[in-house]
Amino acid sequence: MSVQPAMPKSWRVDTKPHKFCPGCGHGLVLKALGQAIDELGIQDRAVFGCDIGCSLLAWDFFNVDTIQTHHGRTTPVITGLKRANPNLIGIAYMGDGGGYAIGSQHLVNAAARNEKITVILVNNTQYGMTGGQMAPTTLPGQKTETTPYGRDPEKTGYPTQGPEMVAAITREGAYVARGTVANLRQLKNYLKKALENQMAGNGFSFVEVLSTCPTNWRTNAEETWKMVEQELPKYFKVGEIKVPGGQKEGEANG
C-alpha cells in the first residue's frame, strides 16, 4: 500500500507534477498557505494571484480561483478584485523581484493605502527564474550571476528590508511579519494571522518568507539549509513586526 504525503485540501490533486527544482522552498510556502486556507475554511472565497518569476509556477497549485499577472502587477490586480468584491480573500504571491524591484511601487502604495489584501513575498536573495542575478535582497558579499565577486553594498546598496519598510508606511490595523521555510509551524501561523486580518477587514497584511534556491545558490542540501537557517537571518530578522499605531485611516500619509 503506497502512503501519500498529506496534502492541503485546497491544493489541486489532478494537475501534472510541479516544476520547482529539487530543494526549492516555494513548495513549502505553498503547503503552509494551503494549510492556512484549509484551517480558515476560505477555499471558496480565496483568489490567488501569482507573479512572473518562479512564483508563477504556483499557478496550478490551488483549487481556488487563480490569476497569473504581468510581472510586478499582482498587487494591483488583487487590489482591484478585492475592491470589486470585498467578500473575496485576495492573496498576492510573488518573489523579491516582483515585490521589491519591478513591482515595488505597487507594494509601497498598497501598503500606504492599507488595502485589505494579503501579500506573500518569497525572498530567496536573487532572481531565480532568470538564472540567479542580483536582487534587492542579495546579501553583502553574496555571489550571483551579476555580482561574480560578491555584492558590494557600498556600490549596489544593502539588502532591502521589506517588512520593516511596509510596517513604517502602512496604517493602523495592518499585519506584517517575516517567516522562514526553516520554521513551517511558525510560518503557517503568520500566514493564518495575515489572512484573518484581511477577513476581519482590518487592513493590509504582508508576510515575507525567507526561502531556498539551491539551483542558483549552487549549494548542496546541507549548505542550502545552513544558508536559510543561519545566514539569511543575520540580515533579515524573523518575527512579527509592529505596525506603528500613530496613523489612522483618514489622516494624511506623511
Binding site for ligand SF4 (CB under 6 A): 20-21, 24, 26, 54, 124, 128-129, 213-216
Our measurement of the distance from residue 216's CA atom to the centroid of its chain's CA atoms, rounded to an integer in Å, reads 19
Total length of the chain: 254
For ligand SF4, the closer of residues 8 and 53 by Cβ is 53
For ligand SF4, the closer of residues 76 and 98 by Cβ is 98
CB of 127 to ligand SF4, least distance (A): 9
For ligand SF4, the closer of residues 43 and 212 by Cβ is 212
Cell 506603528, located at residue: 244
**Continuous H helices in the chain:** 26-40, 74-84, 96-100, 104-113, 153-156, 162-169, 184-199, 214-217, 221-226, 232-235
Tally of CB atoms within 10 A around 93: 30
For ligand SF4, the closer of residues 29 and 77 by Cβ is 29
CB of 180 to ligand SF4, least distance (A): 15
C-alpha cell at 55: 512564483
CB of 230 to ligand SF4, least distance (A): 19
* Cβ–Cβ < 8 Å for 234, 140: no
CB of 220 to ligand SF4, least distance (A): 13
CB of 217 to ligand SF4, least distance (A): 8
Query: How open is the CA angle 38-186-124, to the nearest 5 degrees?
Result: 100
For ligand SF4, the closer of residues 21 and 102 by Cβ is 21
